[in-house]
Amino acid sequence: MEGLAVQLPRFLPLPLPKHAVPFPTSSSTSTGFISLKKLHLSPRRRFPFCTPSSHSQPQAEQLTVPAAAVSGDSIRQRFLDFYASRGHKVLPSASLVPDDPTVLLTIAGMLQFKPIFLGKLPRQVPRATTAQRCIRTNDINNVGQTSRHHTFFEMLGNFSFGDYFKTQAIQWAWDLSTIEFALPPERLWISVYQHDDETFQFWSQQIGVPVKRIKRLGEDDNFWTSGATGPCGPCSEIYYDFHPDRGYDDVDLNDDTRFIEFYNLVFMQYNKKDDGSLEPLKQMNIDTGLGLERMARILQKVPNNYETDLILPIIEKASELANVSYGISDDQTKRYLKIVGDHMRAIVFLISDGVVPSNVGRGYVVRRLIRRVVRTSRLLGIKGDGRGDLEGAFLPIIAEKVVELSTHIDADVKNRAPRILEELKREELRFVQTLERGEKLLEEKLADAISSAERNGTVPCLAGEDVFILYDTYGFPMEITKEVAEERGVSIDMNGFDIEMEKQRRQSQAAHNTVNLAIGSGTSIADNVPDTEFIGYDSLYCKAIIASLVEDKLEIMVFYIFQRGTVHKGVVEVGKEVEATVNVKLRQRAQVHHTATHLLQAALKKVIGQETSQAGSLVAFDRLRFDFNFHRPLLDSELVEIEVLINGWVEDAILLQTKVMPIAEAKREGAIAMFGEKYGEEVRVVDVPGVSMELCGGTHVSNTSEIRGFKIISEQGIASGVRRIEAVAGEAFIEYVNARDSYLKQLCSTLKVKPEEVTARIENLLEELRAARNENSAVRAKAAVYKASVIASRAFLVGNSKQYRILVECLDEVDAESLKSAAEYLMETLADPAAIVLGSCPGEGKVSLVAAFTPGVVDQGIQAGKFIGQIAKLCGGGGGGRPNFAQAGGRKPENLAAALEKAKSELIANLSEKGK
């Protein structure tokens, strides 16, 4: 069929519950809806910036603050003040979790302005300035090695959206550097794009930088591109020279021992087309970035970024726990301390912004950083909490220092500190156990390497792939692996390890260091359709116009949000008028669940603590789902308390209030903002007086009594530190109760008992079932032992003195537990030394194996766990156990005969050799 998109009039009564529907993460051709969470929470569509301030030119330069007052916090504030006085609107840092599907984390200051640079959103201010928190992990292995690489850093930026351009950006960058921060002009070097004569001439002729301190560099260094296509342009960078005494000959601006690039000015003036050609943009923009840590290093006159007041206090806290002094430590110890100082900043701010350690996506980034800090700290000698409690955790102690330093970076970190510290403690203690398992795995790998070398007459060597698995999966430091291996006389295949590391580095770089700004990426018909105003709060019907047709889909556009439909009859054409209506019953169901979600969050905060926060939600017609940050399952009593609270609020028949107000006022009144949401100057506040106040653009009931009833269906963990509650309310609540009542009646009829007698009756039935199963197991075990007594005579002797007994047999369909009983009987029956291997096929597609070795066999270095594990691989499975007794399983019964034959031949070979 053919689909269509409908342009709606200014007033549109379509249902848009806040959490109801997912949004597409690929191009506009994807079928689906965009969540209302993507909208700005105001009755009118607004851009999430404040009202533009005057951008007239300043009348006088600011006074220079004395060098003694140059702290990292003061540098940040002076930068923002400098550009604020020049007409830039100071905007807050965006979250480290970007509202952009093309990147995993916020890696640049310009990311929040991407829609403006692409022309997808109109500018609300002509110029802006920010101090943006950023995360990059593509150079993680350089952290601590160089003087400037970080995973977490702050990028100070000034931006122009079609306002000023090259000359003004250059002039202000120079004034900031030489007047505001009083950097000696003679120590500043400039790089420009090799073909950008205009920029070169302005630096030399207007600013007065000597030509010998201006370097023309190629496309790789000084031409910024967002991708294969899209906005791009030349850039110019400012470098600080730590060693002007080295002169001007053979100067390399990439020499880290002499220069540091601290300010990058991007002149976004072209659009790169598919054929590689450049066309001028209609709106030329400025995108700059000044590294706060780098400027702090320069102004505080320290040898590297780590020794600034932004990071050094964290390093000193780690030094205290490790009982070392950073200042007099060797280079290796300093590197470890720098890693801790850097990574702890990244970890704390990531968790604060809602990233929970896990094995995927952003969660893996923070988990990897945590593990790197833990294993590095072990190298520093930190045990337990570093204060005598070997069962304790040290990460929270260091994190407290990060929180202390966070006030001027993100004031919310202190409020979230209890959750951050608890998450760190839990993750650290869990990982320590993983690290200990890694130690056991290392011992096994070393034993295998030594054994293999003995058989082949070669020098024992640990495979690079194994070293990398220990490093990446178990967090086991390569340095410790190398040290332990050398003690055992085993070398390491470092080439193989480096290959695996390079694979991971390339994957990480591809995943974390690209901002897709290609024009046309994700474009849709909505880009050419006027915006509409959502009127669905008050009206459920309107007329609309078909704006365009989309193949295989009927899409009605509102705010860039599409409503899908199916053409059942008639003809649709562009320009035709249609009627848009809301299903009243479904709207009511959604409203009930939406308001109940607000009440649920309020109840959770009362019952388990104010520090818990929303981690996701779904409002559907048949249920609601609410994800929240918490470290343990909720108790049954807590769930009951939550239900009682919510149903009490429902019974109180509280009248809801909705109003639009400035976001600052809303926050002052205590309104809860949803994490990761973008808000404008004015926001819509949904208030349940005395219970809940949240920023929300969705539809709600007018009175809590409309919810009728609330019931929690389930509570479970969905990720480390994240729990999920599913519940029903309103009509769905009635349906749920009626369905459960029907199930109970059927159960009572089947069991022939009253409802209050069901539990006792089921417990009796379960007890009877357990007794029957135990009796059945005993019978099967006796039968297996009988079979074992029959085959015991089949044991044969090997070795020169015929001293080792071997018995390898198949017991047909005997189950695993009975097979174990048979093996235990044979160990008692056959004289030591004896080796017993039994196999069976207890069911379709199932194989059971057991190996039982008496002490005389184990003493010869043959271990049941390792032996049976290798045999099980032939049957498509695995297993293990103790040196004298082990069990295994598999999925290929057809291979059992061959596997048992292999077991017999290996036992004969090994024990015959030992018996010589």
**b (16+ CB within 10 A) / e for 309-338:** bbbbebbebbbbbbebebeebeeebbbbbb
The contacts of residue 696 (CB under 8 Å, 6+ apart) are 18, 41, 598, 674, 684, 685, 686
Among 4, 188, 14, 19, which Cα is nearest to 618's? 19
Complete DSSP assignment for 289-340: EEEHHHHHHHHHT-SSGGGSTTTHHHHHHHHHHHT--GGG--HHHHHHHHHH
Residues 6+ apart with CB under 8 A from 640: none
| Short-list 474, 453, 454, CA closest to 462 | 453
Strands 89-90 and 127-135: parallel
Buried b (16+ CB within 10 A) or exposed e, 59-89: eeeeeebeeeebbbbbbbbbbbebbbebbbb
Any binding-site annotation on 700? yes
What is the rounded distance in angstroms from the CA atom of residue 85 to the CA atom of residue 60?
10
696 is in an annotated binding site: yes
Q: Report whether 732 contacts 709 (CB < 8 A).
A: no
E-assigned strand segments in 380-510:
461-462, 491-492
In degrees and rounded to multiples of 5, residue 670 shows phi and psi of: 95, 15
Measured distance CA(18)–CA(594) in Å, rounded: 8
Q: Is 810 labelled as part of a ligand binding site?
A: no
- The Cα–Cα gap between 877 and 638 comes to 43
Cα separation, 172 vs 187, in Å, equals 18
The rounded Cα 305 to chain-centroid distance in angstroms is: 26
What SS3 state is found at 65? coil
CA nearest neighbour of 541 among 575, 508, 582: 582
Measuring CA to CA, how many Å separate 179 from each of 61, 89, 786?
Answer: 8, 21, 96
Nearest CA to 340 out of 275, 267, 395 is that of 395
Which one, of 127, 163, 161, 117, lies nearest residue 271 by Cα?
117
Helix, strand, or coil (residue 880): strand
Q: N- to C-terminal Cα distance for the chain?
A: 82
- Residue 610: how many other CB atoms lie within 10 Å: 11
CA 597/CA 686 separation, integer angstroms? 12
Residue appearing with tokens 């320009």: 575
**Pick from 404, 397, 403: nearest CA to 428:** 397
Own/partner pairs, 312-319, CB within 8 angstroms, 24+ separation: 312/341, 313/401, 313/404, 313/405, 314/340, 314/341, 314/344, 314/345, 314/398, 314/401, 314/402, 314/405, 315/340, 315/341, 317/397, 317/398, 317/401, 318/344, 318/377, 318/380, 318/382, 318/398
**CA 629 to CA 85: how far, in whole Å?**
41
Q: Which residues are annotated as a binding site?
A: 594, 598, 696, 700
Residue ranges of the annotated binding site for Zn(2+) are 594, 598, 696, 700
